[in-house]
């Protein structure tokens, strides 16, 4: 059984970059006679834009996506994340941390792929009593390897490349890495197709899956769409939301970006005909590992 998913964050409306992740994960699920589930990654309430979650669902619906079952909202899953953190505490795998970002930057002697590596301060000295506590998991000094269906073999040493990473922030919010692993397991996800901007997160998620006794899904990381300045299309780079206007053109551009070859005749067809073509012709093997500057925005 194939169970895939699309998991947008409602920090803005759907744009071309998120559309290609939706298209790729949807086509993979459909061509495997699988299910395609939706998850709204609305953990970070302060960054959320009011109404964006329902707009994203309307945009997906307009473009002809049909998802299975109910949409899972991360904002309603705190109990599940808290239970997962408790189980890791019982296994002695996590530790509290009262360091500020500045303290870590000032005391760290190593730089990893996401900046200063946490130097383990709170494991060596007493916690600050009046400070809010974050929870970190101890990163192992072993190589985590996985085979990505598009990007090939990926290796990462969590201790040297990432360091002890946060599962629950000092402000009480659960971290993306914990939430995504708990939710993928709860939704029974077997295959994850998503943007290559998350490739560096995958070893952390595999490590958490192993520690929590979950199976590891198969991964395929699609190339990330960039604007003419070479920046990833995201809400932060003000990527234009996709609209109803020109939707056929946009959808066909998404297939082209993903290395597929939709015939020109599809320009004059409705979304339903385009999806029928897609389910008959989609090939993950045609998706490139990376893409030069996209000319779509």
- Residues of the shown chain interacting with Zn ion in the complex, contacts defined by CB under 5 A: 97, 99, 121-122
Say if residues 219 and 153 touch (Cβ distance below 8 Å): no
Distance in Å, CB of 165 to Zn ion, minimum = 12
Distance in Å, CB of 78 to Zn ion, minimum = 23
Distance in Å, CB of 189 to Zn ion, minimum = 32
Q: Which residue has the tokens 């996209």?
A: 294
Q: Which residue has the tokens 């066909």?
A: 252
Is beta strand 165-168 parallel, antiparallel or unpaired with respect to 134-137? antiparallel
Tokens in use for 52?
A: 């964006």
Say if residues 53 and 10 touch (Cβ distance below 8 Å): yes
Q: Collect all residues with Cβ–Cβ distance below 8 Å to 70 and sequence separation of at least 6.
A: none
Distance in Å, CB of 98 to Zn ion, minimum = 6
Task: Name which of 88 and 99 has its Cβ closer to Zn ion.
Answer: 99
Expressed in angstroms, the distance from the first to the final Cα of the chain is: 37
Task: Name which of 97 and 175 has its Cβ closer to Zn ion.
Answer: 97
**For 188, which DSSP code?**
T
Distance in Å, CB of 100 to Zn ion, minimum = 9
Task: Name which of 83 and 132 has its Cβ closer to Zn ion.
Answer: 132
CA 24 from centroid of its chain's CA atoms = 14
Q: Collect all residues with Cβ–Cβ distance below 8 Å to 148 and sequence separation of at least 6.
A: 154, 199, 202, 219, 220, 221
Task: Name which of 38 and 93 has its Cβ closer to Zn ion.
Answer: 93
Distance in Å, CB of 158 to Zn ion, minimum = 17
Distance in Å, CB of 99 to Zn ion, minimum = 3
Task: Name which of 169 and 271 has its Cβ closer to Zn ion.
Answer: 169
Cα–Cα dist 167/208, whole Å: 10
Say if residues 48 and 10 touch (Cβ distance below 8 Å): yes
Q: Collect all residues with Cβ–Cβ distance below 8 Å to 90 and sequence separation of at least 6.
A: none
Task: Name which of 64 and 120 has its Cβ closer to Zn ion.
Answer: 120
Q: Collect all residues with Cβ–Cβ distance below 8 Å to 174 and sequence separation of at least 6.
A: 43, 78, 81, 82, 85, 167, 168
Task: Name which of 122 and 208 has its Cβ closer to Zn ion.
Answer: 122
Distance in Å, CB of 207 to Zn ion, minimum = 20
Task: Name which of 118 and 214 has its Cβ closer to Zn ion.
Answer: 118
């Amino acid at each position: 059984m194939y169970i895939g998913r699309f998991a947008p964050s409602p920090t803005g409306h759907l744009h071309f970059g998120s559309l290609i992740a939706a298209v790729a994960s949807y086509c993979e699920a459909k061509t495997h006679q699988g299910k395609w589930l939706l998850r709204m990654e609305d953990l970070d309430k302060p960054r959320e834009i009011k109404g964006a979650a329902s707009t994203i669902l309307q945009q997906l619906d307009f473009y002809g996506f049909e998802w299975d079952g109910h949409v899972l909202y991360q904002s309603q899953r705190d109990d599940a994340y808290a239970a997962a953190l408790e189980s890791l505490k019982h296994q002695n795998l996590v530790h509290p941390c009262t360091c500020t970002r500045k303290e870590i930057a000032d005391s760290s002697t190593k730089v990893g792929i996401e900046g200063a590596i946490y130097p383990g301060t709170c494991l060596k000295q007493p916690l600050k009593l009046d400070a809010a506590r974050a929870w970190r998991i101890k990163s192992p000094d072993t190589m985590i390897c996985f085979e990505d269906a598009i990007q090939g073999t990926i290796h990462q040493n969590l201790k040297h490349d990432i360091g002890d990473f946060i599962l629950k922030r000092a402000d009480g919010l659960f971290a993306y890495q914990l939430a995504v692993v708990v939710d993928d397991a709860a939704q029974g996800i077997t295959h994850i197709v998503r943007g290559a901007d998350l490739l560096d997160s995958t070893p952390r998620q595999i490590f958490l899956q192993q520690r929590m006794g979950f199976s590891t899904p198969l991964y395929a990381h699609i190339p990330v769409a960039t604007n003419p300045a070479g920046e990833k299309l995201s809400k932060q780079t003000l990527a234009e939301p996709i609209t109803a206007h020109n939707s056929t053109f946009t959808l066909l551009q998404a297939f082209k970006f993903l290395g597929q070859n939709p015939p020109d005749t599809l320009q004059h067809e409705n979304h339903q005909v385009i999806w029928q073509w897609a389910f008959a012709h989609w090939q993950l093997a045609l998706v490139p590992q990376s893409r030069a500057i996209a000319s779509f925005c």
